[in-house]
Structure 1
Amino acid sequence: MRAYVMTAYGNVQDVVRLLDLPDPVPGADEVVCDIKAAALNPIDQKTIAGDLKQVIRYDLPHTIGFDASGTVRAVGSNVTAFRPGDEVFVRASRETIGTFAERIALPQSFFARKPAALTHVEAASLPLVGLTTVQGLVDRARAKAGQRILIHAGSGGVGTFAIQYAKALGLHVTTTTSSRNAEFVRTLGADTVIAYDKEDYLTQPGDYDIVFDTLGGAFTLDAFKVARRGGSVVSIVGPPDRQFADQVGANPLIRLVMWFMARRVFAASRETGVAYYRFLTESDGAQLAGIARLVDEGRIKPVIDRVFPFEGLPAAFAHLGTGRAKGKVVLSMT
């Protein structure tokens, strides 16, 4: 099979190669999937660049990619939930990345049946952003109907999903975006839109139950200025929280470094009485199945910015790197 492999850490153009590799063979609890489409995510760029080496270090060369949709090719002896021919979608784990390939073998617990209403390109766009949102808003922040949430960068890959999912939960959604994308995010369900090129969200009414920080930097600390006491700041790019260190099995030295990185956020959390979460997304087929149900009920729709052919991965990464994608960037194998 053909698969993209990072041969070293660095720029995509310099270190990623398309190679011929042996076809995967399923372990007893694994599913082999013929991949029809795979989505790009910013974490892929960070992985290739080596920005996450202190969190997880790969033996190079190594395959890359987290999100995929495709058809079951083969199953292991213990697999009962799937059979060859089933259409599925999946998010690989940090250890098992490799969806920028023609095939992949992953644990059956990572997979769910593809939403019936979607193409493989559409389904491939959902796993990582969907699981990140579910695990942030439900598992951590314990979102409840009627609460108010601020979602930054509503027109981005995570934001476009998070707006729709928050509305499905019954939340009142405020989002930030550029004025040119304001009407677009309203069509996704945003109740209030703050155009950052015309307005300062810090001067708008706050008191949010949840702030979903997709931008990091100053936005992470500023989130505590607009969240209500007893509320939550959920960040996907801010400094690591204490659970983050547990998730990666950090040694004492790395834990100290992580604490130093997050000390100002921890201080803001104590002073404001606002909980802080910065976690690593985990693969979860059951949660993907829940997302699929919402899609098939018409409550969530994928947002695709551009589709590239499999051979166009370098160009796809260049486009993603502009930071201007409205929704997801996807590779199509067909």
Structure 2
Amino acid sequence: MSTSMRVMELVHFGGADEAFVSRELPRPVPGPGQVLVRVMATSVNPLDLQTRRGDYRDEVALPAVIGNDVSGVVVETGPGADEFQAGDEVWYLAPVFAGQGTYAEFHVVDQALVARKPAGLSHIEAAGLALVGVTVWEALVERAGLRVGERVLVHGGAGGVGSAAIQLARALGAEVVTTARVRDHEFVTELGADTAIDFSTGDYVPQVREMGGVDVVLDTVGGDTLSRSPEVLADRGRVVSIVDISEPQNLLAAWGVNAAYHFVFVSPGRAKLEALGRLVDQGKLRPVIGAVLPLADVAQAHTLLEGGTTSDGRRRPRGKIAIAVHPLDR
């Protein structure tokens, strides 16, 4: 096996077009308790966009290999890493801002963070579910404590996180209300949403209040969602946001409904992946892959996720944008 690997390295903060360069770097070597994984697929997430723009420049020193999702095959194990062996198909969420990212042909990770890939998922599908799946599990299960019979409002149901959140909420036995454009209403309903509200043509608040409000709000879109959530929350409702807060918001109204606010910056973990894998095996959760691009086109993938148009005319799809790193027959 070659001692080098191809990566897409972030060399400039700012726009996607000039941000990445293809380079050959030394293939990493697994240390104690680590495994070396041939990355079959990764994906692009809002966190990657924020990192590329320079939002986390204090945590990321250039040049850097970014990215966090992995689905791949173990090729080597380090000393004491006895839970996996070469040939095992695995998936995981790489630690954020800690070491090399996943826009690369190979990646080293502590075995404690790794789970066996669900047999029912392709590498592309698994890579598209890792970060968003762990995010919604942490948001809805660990933070919001969503219960059977409760009602949840998922903002941005047609997106990568939103599409996973709708499915997870349904699997938990909750009633799901989501915001989405009219063209996406059939799509989010097929995912399991009970009610879809067109956010582009009117105010969602009166419509949610007419149905009696919600117990949980999942904010995937930002804006004034935090300050407006008390208008739709039942007493002792919970708000979970996965969005960076860029502007101050007045949360005084939250006091009147005894609201609890939670802010999630996702953390990796095998137990969450295994829980998601069980839902996959039960047919209750499936990633929505809207586009697949090769590793060399990671800048185009960023452009798509930001809502731009690629050089060949593609526009942002529903669900996740996956990156095929190694051809599956290689």
Instruction: Report the TM-score when normalising by structure 1.
Output: 0.89
Answer whether contact 2:293 2:324 (CA < 8 A) is retained: yes
Give the secondary structure class of the aligned counterpart of 2:133.
helix
Q: What CA distance in whole angstroms lies between the structure 2 residues aligned with 1:275 and 1:221? A: 12
Who is 1:264 aligned against?
250
- State the AA in 1 paired with 2:147: K
Answer whether contact 2:71 2:123 (CA < 8 A) is retained: yes
- State the AA in 1 paired with 2:254: S
Cα distance, 1:112 vs structure 2: 0.9
Give the secondary structure class of the aligned counterpart of 1:106.
strand
Q: What CA distance in whole angstroms lies between the structure 1 residues aligned with 2:270 and 2:51? A: 23
1:78-117 equivalences in 2 (<5 Å): 78-94=80-96, 95-117=98-120
**Cα RMSD for the two superposed structures:** 1.6
Q: What CA distance in whole angstroms lies between the structure 2 residues aligned with 1:8 and 1:199? A: 39
Who is 1:73 aligned against?
75
Larger helix fraction of residues: 1
Q: What CA distance in whole angstroms lies between the structure 2 residues aligned with 1:101 and 1:135? A: 27
- State the AA in 2 paired with 1:115: P
Cα distance, 1:104 vs structure 2: 0.4
1:206-285 equivalences in 2 (<5 Å): 206=209, 207-239=213-245, 264-265=250-251, 267-285=252-270
Give the secondary structure class of the aligned counterpart of 2:26.
coil
Of 4, 19, 42, the residue aligned with 1:38 is 42
Who is 2:53 aligned against?
49
Give the secondary structure class of the aligned counterpart of 2:81.
coil
**1:254-294 deviation per Cα after TM superposition (whole angstroms, max 9, x unaligned):** xxxxxxx65634x4433431101112100111111111111
Of 140, 144, 167, the residue aligned with 1:164 is 167
- State the AA in 2 paired with 1:332: A
Q: What CA distance in whole angstroms lies between the structure 2 residues aligned with 1:71 and 1:209? A: 41
**1:125-144 deviation per Cα after TM superposition (whole angstroms, max 9, x unaligned):** 00110111111111111111
Taking only the aligned residue pairs, the percentage that are identical comes to: 39
Q: What CA distance in whole angstroms lies between the structure 1 residues aligned with 2:177 and 2:85? A: 42
Do residues 181 (structure 1) and 181 (structure 2) align?
Answer: no
Instruction: Report the TM-score when normalising by structure 2.
Output: 0.90
Cα distance, 1:59 vs structure 2: 2.3
Answer whether contact 1:163 1:188 (CA < 8 A) is retained: yes
**1:75-117 deviation per Cα after TM superposition (whole angstroms, max 9, x unaligned):** 1222232111110111111123511100000111221111101
Q: How many residues get paired? A: 311
Who is 1:133 aligned against?
136
Report which stretch shifted further, 132-141 or 75-84: 75-84
Answer whether contact 2:158 2:184 (CA < 8 A) is retained: yes
- State the AA in 2 paired with 1:284: G
Who is 1:309 aligned against?
294
Segments of 4+ moved more than 6 angstroms: none
Who is 1:294 aligned against?
279
Q: What CA distance in whole angstroms lies between the structure 1 residues aligned with 2:69 and 2:99? A: 11
- State the AA in 2 paired with 1:103: F
- State the AA in 2 paired with 1:314: A
Who is 2:63 aligned against?
61
Cα distance, 1:21 vs structure 2: 0.5
Q: Which runs of 5+ in 2 are unaligned?
A: 309-315
Do residues 12 (structure 1) and 4 (structure 2) align?
Answer: no
Q: What CA distance in whole angstroms lies between the structure 2 residues aligned with 1:227 and 1:308? A: 40
Answer whether contact 1:28 1:79 (CA < 8 A) is retained: yes
- State the AA in 2 paired with 1:209: D
- State the AA in 2 paired with 1:311: A
Answer whether contact 2:8 2:296 (CA < 8 A) is retained: no
- State the AA in 2 paired with 1:133: V
Q: Flag the 1:216–1:87 CA change in 2: closer, same or farther, 3 A.
A: same
